[in-house]
Structure formats: C-alpha cells, structure tokens
Structure 1
Amino acid sequence: MFWHMSDDLKNDLNVPGTKVIIDDTTSATGSDNFKLTPVPSSDPNDPLNWTLRRKWLYVICMVMWVMASCAGMGSLYPIYDALSEETGLTLDQINTGAGYLYFFQQVWSLFSQPLAVTIGTRPIFIVTCAGLCIFPFCLSLVSTNSQWVGLIIVNSIFTSPVYVLPELALSDIFFYHERSFPFGVYISAIWGCAFVVPIYSGFLYTRFGLNGPTYFAGGCCAFAAVFLFLFLEETNFERKVPEHGNKVEAETIDKTTVESRYDLEKMTATTTDIVAVDGEDSTSSSPSSGYEASPHMYNHKTTPWPGPRPFQKSPVSPHWWGILWRTWFQNFAFYRLPILLWCSVIMAYTQIYSNITSALSSGILGDEPYNMSPNMVGLTFVSPLLANIPGALAAGWITDWWTIRKARQNGGVSEPEDKLSLSIIPTILSPIGCLMMGLGPYYGAHWIVFVLGEFVITIAGPLANLIAINYAFDAYHGIQPKDQSGPRFEVQKGAPYILSPTLLAMGISFGFSYAITPWAFDAGFKIWAITAAIVSICMTGSGLLMMIWGKRLRKSGAGFYEKIINI
C-alpha cells in the first residue's frame, strides 16, 4: 500500500502547525489510523509510551498541584468583606493585592520555567507545592497593606508555574490528536478550584473565623505535596529519533537538508512509502525527503506504571545560563508575532473576567438588596463550578472531536485554525453572562439572575482560554532549532510560545485589577454590564477573524521564529 503527497499538500505542510494526523491509506480504521505526533521513541521510559492509565495518574497529580496553587487565594473570595474588617485592609487594597499575585507570578515564571527545563519538572512541582503552605498559615499575621503585598509576592513565587508548566508537562505525555481534553482538565482545575474553595470557605469562616478556611487550604497544600512526592513522575525526556518496530534509521533524519527543521512532529508528514511485505510493514524513505513515517496507533507499544518512585531522579542540564537568558530574550522577542499577541489578549480577557466574577460576588451579594452571609455567598459559587464542566471538561473533549472531524474532511490534514471556529460559542455566551451579572443587580432582580450570569460566563471563559492555549501550542510547538542538542534545543522544552503570551496576559490582568472597583462599583452596574458585553464580543469574536488570517500569519512569522530560536 502506498501513500504519496501532492505538491499542494507538501506546500501546506511547510507551514508550521499544519500536519497530517490521520492516514486512511493503512488497513487500520477508526482511532487506529492516527499518525502519532509527536513521534514516540522506542525507549519504554518515554512519557509518550506510557499506558493511558499511567498518563491519567499524571493528570491527577497535575490537578492536585493546580488546585493546591489556587486554594490559598481562592479561600478568601467570599470573605473579602470579613478579611477587610479583621485586617483593616480596604477592599481596593485586597483586590489590588490579588492583582500583584498575577503580575509577580509571571515575573517568577521567567525563573521557574527555565529551572524546570534545567533540573526537571518533578522537583519544581513538589517544592512549590510544599511552599504553598506559607500563604494560608501566615495570613493571620497580616495587619498592614505592606505585609499583605509582601505575603502575596511570596505566594506568587510558589504559584508561578501554574499557567505554563502543567500545559508543557501534559504535552510531553499526550499526542496531538488527544491533547485538548487533558488541557481542558487542567483549565477546569484552575477555574474549578477558584469556585469550589469559596463554597466551603464561607462555612468554615462562620464556624472557625478567618483562620478556618485558610488553615484548611494550607492542609490541602501539604497533603498535595505528599501525594506528588509519592506518585508524580518526571516528564522531562530527551526524545531521540524513533526506533519502533519498523526500524527507522536515525542516519536518514540526521542527514536532512531541509532548511527549516521542525521537530519530530513535522516528520509525521512525509513522502515515505509504507509497503506491506509478508504481513509486516517495512519503511523506506524517499530520496528527496529527509523525513520518516511515524508509527500509528495500531502498532504503538505502551509501558505500564512501575509503582511509586518517591526518590526518582530527574535529568539535570549543564546549560542553565544559556537556557535562562534565552528564555528571557525569546519571551520578549516573540511579541512581534501577531498570533502570540492575539493569544495574549484572549488569555488576559478570560483572566480579567474570572477576577471580576469573583470580586463582584462578595461585593454585590453581600450588600443591599441581597445581604447574603459569607457562607451563602460561598454557596453561589456552585453555579460557576457546575458551568466549569461544559466550559472546560466537555470543551476539551469537543475540541479533540472537532479537530479529528475537520482533519478527516481535509484528507487527514489538521490546521490550528480548525479549533478557532469554536470561538462562536464564547462570542454568543460572554455578553449574555455580562448583561445578566450587571443588569440584574442594577434593576434589583432576584439574585438568581446574577448567579445564572456567572454560570453563562463561566462556560465561555474556559473555552476561550482553551482555544487560545491550543492555538499557540499548535502554531509553534513544531518548530525546533537547527541544533538538536544544547541550550537552544532545551529552551524549546520550556514552551516559550506559551510563556510569552501568558506573561503579557497576566501583566494586563494585573493592570486591570486597579480598574475592577471603579469600573463595576463606581461607574455603576448598568454601565459595567453594557461595556463588558461589548468588550467580550470584540475579544472572543476576534477568533473568527483569525480563522481567515491565521494561516497566513503562521507562514509569514515562521522565519522570524526560527531566527530567534537559533540565536
């Protein structure tokens, strides 16, 4: 059986992010005819070769860490008024302090991300999880604004990996056609924890005072640290050229003369002929192509979980300085790329609206005309918590399904812009949620209108965030430097194409934290509702425009991206 690519398809595959993920020329059908991207190695320790159960144990570890990182600050959302009374801080100072958290998270991520590449992701996750206990156990000592900001900055050190490192770790163990659902679980953990923690913190405050919810959050962080120490595995793996049952020759790929060398994902789209011989597959590479065919789902061998390894060693790179300065340089250089700027804006939008949802809940429901107690305010977070299921979990699965469906319609070729068509969902839902959350309190409507508005906007937010993360990842993950070893190559393990837009997004979110109170409370809920609805339409609707211009921007920016990562 033979598979040959047309000239048009070859040209399409020269655009970073465009790849073949389905090969209908094999005898396999259904889910077995997926071309594995990135290409796994023959090493049983390769995270891509883990069994599905082993991979999902790792996902559980990531969820534990993410929820621990959000527990400390999240426990305060429904008791902002009480925190203000007991510490003497104003609501504006508390909200501004939360903004400092997002800003310094990104400052410290410029250190934690290259450190994870240098010494491995496992020690970073375990040490930071243990350090997360500091904020909740020391909060009772805060009595001034300077102490509040200082504690926030300390907490930001240990929460700094939350917006990038888990995504990178998950991409190390899942293939292209199955990544969106684990990404959705990760986003669900971030948003879900911000909503589940306030549910119990209100009741704990009523029963035990301010220390109740914070000490409970600290205990959860300590438990998560022990859990990770026992069950978390290292995913920082140097993947060599694949050597599976088809005996791919490493020399063939090493001799490639292609000027723009993408990583092993690019090698999945090839001119290789797959020839059936005596019931077995033998792979022969076309002389005109330096690429090799990737294995398929039907011949992929997996490795089961070996059991707890608490003292597992992580690989250590000697190129720490080269990794560090290149991480800093690349993150700022990439702001020239329109795609990453767009992803930054969408990430910032989702984070800002998440912050507003949390800030408005206590400020609106705890005052006239609703006058809810802190524990009842906490119960209202059940609404966005339930919305997190279709907004992130189901959205991840739908995104994978949609990607595969579009690829089958396009002859097995997947484009990053395929996922952008799902932007129509948050474009419709976001303004509806904003109007319900603002106009409901303005006209004195029943509190259920505000709570349902939270539900609607929380469906839209995680989905928009997932779309932006996937787009940045799909567009640039496949581009690698010419030097396939050393600091240039290792920096790309840190996903600078994700860190760069996240850094800008959290900076925008920090700046906007100063505007939450004057925008929503001072200007009035009616003005806030209308303007927030208009902004949300513009932000989420821009994804539909990127469907038109996205591929052209990917192609025009590929040369600049390659130039930067080869410095």
Structure 2
Amino acid sequence: MAPQVTGYRDAEAVDNVVEMGITGTVHLVDLDGSMGAVHDKSQKDVVLYPTPSSDPNDPLNWSQKRKWLNSFCLQLYTFMIAGGTATGYAVYPQIIESTGIPLSTLNSAIGVMFLILGWGCLFWCPIGLQYGRRGVYLISLLGCMAMNLWAPYTASAGTWYAHRFLYGFFGAPVEALVEQSMPDMFFTHERGLHVGLFLMWLGGASFLFPIAAGYVAQTMDWRWCFYFPVIFKGASIVFLYFFMDETMYDRSLMQQQALARGQAARGVSMPAPVDSQQAQLPPKEMNSEEKSAKAPSESSANLEAVVSGDMLIYEPLTLSKRLALFRVTPGKENKLWAMMIRPMKHAITFPIMAMAGFQYGTYLMFFVVLNATWTTILQAEPYNFSPGITGVAYVAPFLGALVGSAYSGWFGDRFHLWMARRNGGIREPEQRLWLYIACSLGLMTGLLLWGVGSGHIHWFGVLFGAFLLGFTGVLGGASPIAYISDSYPMLLGEGMITMTLIRNTMGFAMGYAITPFFENVGIRNTFITCAFLALGLTSTFLIFIFVGKAERKRTTAKYYEYAANATMTH
C-alpha cells in the first residue's frame, strides 16, 4: 500500500531539511509524536521525506506494487546494460586467437568504454532530467543492442575500440540517471534497499554474463556471446516500453498548475505565481547560512494559505501520455546547457561530491583490475580452468554482490534509522558512512587473496578473494550514492554526474595501465601495491565522518543558490 498522506498541506514551502539549517540534516524520526508532518503508515514514527503531494500521479504516492514494478524495470535495464560491458572478459583468449588483437589493446579499449560511460552522462542525464527518463532508457538500450550486434564482426583493434566507445556512450545513463529515478519514487528511509538492488545488478551483471559467455564460447563460438545479448536486449525494450513509467515529477510546478485549474473551475482569482523552485527553497537571498534556515518566503506562504484539497485539480495521465518517450512540462524552464556545464564545477564547489566520486572510483578501479586479470590467473598454472569453468567462477563475486546489496540496502536502511533514533530523531548523512569500515577492510583482503594468493593457495581461497571484491564493489558504490542523495537532495541529478565523471575517469586510468603494470612487475607485486593503495584511498571516508557536517554547513547557502536553478527538486 502507498503511504497514507494525511494532514498534508499541498503547498508545503520548506521541507524539514531547511528547518534544521544545514542541508542534509533532517528530523527523520518523530520520537514523541509531536511533529505535524506526514508519517509512514507501517513505521509510524518515521517522517516521510521528501513530503509527497496529494497528486495520485506523484511517484511518491504510487502503490508499492507499482513502485516495485518500476524498480524492477530499472534493474532490468541496469542488468542488460551492465552485462554488455563485461561480456568478453571470459572469452578474451578466443577473441585474441580469432582477431589477433593483443590483451593490452582489449583492456585499453575497455578503459575507454568506462571513460565514456562516465562522460556520456553529460549528454544523456540532462536530457533525462529535463524531458524525462523513459525515452533515455529505451534509446540507450537500443543503442547498446546495436553495439552488441556489431561486436562479433570485430576484425581489427580499431573496430574493437569503436564499438566499445559507442557502447560506453549509449550505456552512460546507467551510471547516473538510474540513481535519480530511485529517489523519484522512494522516500529517504526506503532508498537504500532499492539503490542496493540496482548496484547488485550493476556489478552482478558483470559477473553473470561472463558465466554464460564461457560456456557459449566453449560449445558454439565466441561471437554468440554478443548475439545472445542482442536477443535479450530486444525483448527488454518491448517489456520496458509497456511497463516502465515516467518518474520525472516537478512537485511544486504540478501543485501550482493543479491550483490554477481548481481556482478556474470555481471562479477564484489566481494569486501571484510562485517559482517552481522557490516553493521548496529558503528565502530569496542566499548569501548566508543563517538566511537558509529562515521561515518560508512570503509568496510561498501565501500560496500555502489559499490551498485546500478541494481546490486542487490534477490532470489525469492518459495511456498515450504514459507511453510517450519524453514529456514536455509546460512552464518548466529549459536548463539543458547549465546541467551539462555545472557538474564539472560541483567537484570544486562541493567537496563531498568530489569525495563520493573518489571513493566510488576507487572501487571501480579495482573491479577493472579483477576482470583484467581473471583469465590470466584462472586459466594459468596451477588452476588451468577451462573457458566454461572460468565463466562459472564468476559466481563468487556475484554472491559477494548479493551480500553487499543486502548489507548496504536492507541492513543499511535499518542502521540509518537506528542511528537517527539514537540521535534524538535527527538524521545526519555521515551516519551511513560507518558501514564503510567493512568495505575498506574487505577490499584490501580481497585483493591480497586474489592476486598475491594466486598460484600459491587453493582455488577456493582465490575465489573467496573475488567474493570480497564483489561485496565491496556494491557497498563501495551504495555508500557514496546515499551520501550525495542525503546531503544535497535537490542537486542529486547533477551530483550523480559529478561523481560518475570522477569515478569513470579513474576506471579508465586503471584499465589503460593495469596490463602493462602486471606484465612488468608480475601479478604478486601488482596486487600487493593495489591492496595497500586501496586501504589508504578508502580510509579517507573517516575524514568526512568527522568534518562532513561542517562541510555541509559551509556549503548550505551555495547549495540552495544552485538548487534554485536546478531542473529537479524534491
């Protein structure tokens, strides 16, 4: 069932994030039942954040069945796109034998693909934020399907680079836009589970596809490792076209339009219009932190005063509108160009976004290392795995991804609520970062078992290292995403682009360097270096546990200034 929206004021001007005076600090748990906010139906002390409108088309008001269906659609899209990035890992020897392309070139092209997966977000994500996510997802899947169809005809290094580059471009929405669609539908205390599921399939698909690819290459031909995904992607496009809803929803703008319809129907004059962003922001001047914590602006207060439930007339969505690829919202300012430029500035303006990208990028780097050395380790002495068994071995990191999803999602949401209750009901984004301790230690241990242990310990120990790398890969993405989402919710779309640019640039660098690295110093020395580098890089999260709130306070005024010009707000 959808949450019960009782006692809600349709023109709520300022979310409880503003009342606290620091972006990201919210009163999430109503310990004594004294708050006049909307509460969750099942957990009656949990405040719904962001506050939903009374519009049945508001994704926050959808039934749980509809939300889960759309979450499944996003996970299916993620699985199909992410799987295509890793299809060839288990059959590198066959590709090398058939095409003559050296291993270093194959891995370098994968690095380029990861680079474009990140930088392509500058093109796709602003379109998704301005005109809707649905069309972007479907076009993305269609483009990646075409690249899968081209890949079997690879005859030279140039061809391999070309289709990996274009796959990265068309697949880019999976890196940043899906993380925006989840908060469109789910409240703060629910997001961890669904972001965890998304990351499980983002990483898990990269492990499952090579399992099938290994056996396909052994029984048929390596080219069928790319043909089969074409079939699955085609079926997925049809399914998503009919069952995936558009989650883009400008809550303030929709409320104003509904109010205008209601007043027109009753012959009531419309008050002065309220900016669709200003209704969710602190007072007009944002040049100080103190002003960001004041009461709602006069215009938004006036709007709130005249709104009552029977005056709001929300426009129903027809079937043709629901199936449309894109949606143009009347009155919504076009800010495509700004959204393409600003994410590159955010890394300097908001250090928390830069830190999140740096942390996520660290895990991507070592995920690239795992895949780049997979066949080198498992098909060599003393293991001598066949192509089929080499693929099956990917079950180990996939199981790790499953555990990481449960830990960061199901457990993470409960841990966050527990921390908020201990803190007088106040949620701080840094509370979730404590989950990162297991991630930091697990990554170092996994790298040592996988790389240093290879050739010296039983294959089970090596694959347990891969299990740990799968676990940390999911958790290492979930925590930074949650940190940005909780700290700067109205800049989540742009923040995800900023994080992805940093993350994927780091992945590109590692994909370009890893093969020459281990060819020159050996597997053992490579992974000793990687393990202690990983421990040092990932431990930087401890700094933000202690200084993160001060950093959020310092950037609160700047955050609201940017949010006033952002396309998506909550």
TM-score w.r.t. structure 1 length?
0.83
> Given the alignment of the two structures, is residue 402 of structure 1 paired with residue 400 of structure 2, yes or no?
no
Structure 1 residues 64 and 43: CA distance shift in structure 2, 3 A: same
The one-letter code of the counterpart of 1:346 is Q
Q: Residue in 1 aligned with 2:386?
A: 373
1:121 aligns with 2:119: no
Alignment of 1:461-472 (within 5 A): 461-472=473-484
**Partner secondary structure for residue 23 of structure 2:** coil
Q: Measure how far apart 1:406 and its partner are.
A: 0.9
The alignment status of 1:359 with 2:384, answered yes or no, reads no
Matched residues in 2 for 1:10 and 1:374: separation? 53
Q: Distance in 2 between matches of 1:394 and 1:256?
A: 34
Q: Aligned match of 1:392 in 390, 405, 410?
A: 405
Q: Which whole-Å CA distance do the structure 1 matches of 2:103 and 2:27 have between them? A: 52
**One-letter amino acid matched to 1:258:** P
Moved more, 505-514 or 520-529: 520-529
Displacement of 1:446? 2.1
Q: Distance in 2 between matches of 1:256 and 1:142?
A: 53
- Matched to 1:560, the amino acid is K
- Indicate which of 527, 530, 533 corresponds to 2:528: 530
What is the DSSP-based 3-state SS (H/G/I as helix, E as strand, rest coil) of the residue aligned with 1:369?
coil
Q: 5 Å matches for 1:296-375? A: 311-312=323-324, 314-316=326-328, 322-336=334-348, 337-375=350-388
Greater CA deviation, 425-434 or 516-525? 516-525
- Superposed counterparts of 1:445-484, under 5 Å: 445-478=457-490
Partner of 1:416: 429
Q: Evaluate the alpha carbon distance shift between residue 430 and residue 313 of structure 1 in structure 2; reply closer, same or farther with a 3 A threshold.
A: closer
Measured in 2, the distance between the counterparts of 1:457 and 1:170 equals 25
2:30–2:47 contact (8 Å) kept in structure 1: yes
CA-CA distance at 1:420 after TM superposition:
0.7
Task: Name the structure 1 match of 2:26.
Answer: 19
Residue 145 of structure 2 is aligned to residue 138 of structure 1: no
AA paired with 1:532? C
Give unmatched runs, 5+ long, in structure 1.
Answer: 1-8, 244-248, 273-284, 294-304, 479-491
Offset, 1:415: 0.3
1:407 alignment partner AA: A
Deviates more, 1:253-262 or 1:84-93: 253-262
> Is the deviation greater in 527-536 or in 342-351?
527-536
- 2:264 maps to what in 1? none
1:434 counterpart letter in structure 2: L
Pair 1:258 & 2:283 matched: yes
Does the Cα contact within 8 Å between 2:96 and 2:103 map onto a contact in 1?
Answer: yes
Corresponding residue for 1:552? 550
**Residue 512 of structure 2: aligned partner:** 514
Is 1:97–2:109 an aligned residue pair?
yes
**Could you report, residue by residue, the CA deviation over 1:156-186 in whole angstroms, capped at 9, with x for unpaired residues?**
2220101111110111000011111100000
Gaps of 5+ in 2: 1-15, 256-269, 306-316, 566-570
Q: For residues 57 and 308 of structure 1, what CA distance do their matches in structure 2 show?
A: 19
Contact kept? 2:29, 2:421, Cα under 8 Å: yes
**Residues 313 and 343 from structure 1, CA distance in 2 versus in 1: closer, same or farther, beyond 3 angstroms?**
closer
**Superposition deviation, residue 30 in structure 1:** 6.6
Structure 1 residue 521: deviation in Å? Answer: 3.8
Does the 8 A contact of 1:69 with 1:132 survive in 2? yes
Q: Residues of 2 paired with 1:110 and 1:505: CA distance?
A: 14
Q: Is the 8 A contact 1:233 1:312 kept in 2?
A: no
How many Å apart are 1:26 and its aligned residue?
Answer: 2.5
Give the structure 1 partner of residue 261 of structure 2. Answer: none
Of the candidates 553, 556, 559, which is equivalent to residue 561 of structure 1? 559
1:366-415 deviation line (CA, Å, top 9, x unaligned): 12232211111001101111111111233211111111011111121100
* Residue 164, structure 1, aligned to residue 189, structure 2: no
Q: Which residue of 2 aligns with 1:235?
A: 247
Query: Residues of 2 paired with 1:476 and 1:528: CA distance?
Result: 37
Distance (whole Å) between structure 2 residues aligned to residue 433 and residue 350 of structure 1: 12
CA contact (8 A) 1:388 1:459 kept: yes
The separation in 1 between residues aligned to 2:304 and 2:364, in whole angstroms, is 41
Q: Which amino acid aligns with 1:107?
A: W
Cα distance between partner residues in 1 of 2:173 and 2:218: 33
Distance 2:515 2:331 in 1: 46
Identity, in percent, stands at 27
Report if the CA contact (8 A) 1:182-1:396 is conserved: yes
Query: Which residues of 2 match residues 415-434 of structure 1 at below 5 A?
Result: 415-434=428-447
Superposed, which structure 2 residues align to 1:184-195 within 5 Å? 184-195=196-207
Aligned residue number for residue 216 of structure 1: 228
Quote the Cα distance in structure 2 between the aligned partners of 1:30 and 1:119: 34
Q: Deviations over 1:32-91 (max 9, x none)?
A: 222111111111000000011110100110111111112223221111111111111110
Q: Distance in 2 between matches of 1:211 and 1:540?
A: 38
Q: Specify the code of the residue in structure 2 equivalent to 1:66.
A: T
Amino acid at match of 1:65: Y
1:349 partner SS: helix
1:526 offset after TM fit, Å?
2.3
- Paired residues in the alignment total 515
Equivalent residue of 2:454, what SS?
Answer: helix
1:119 CA drift (Å): 2.3
> Could you tell me how far apart the structure 1 residues matched to 2:481 and 2:469 are?
19
One-letter code aligned to 1:102: F
- Cα distance, 1:318 vs. partner? 7.7
User: Contact 2:408/2:479 (CA < 8 Å) preserved in 1?
Assistant: no
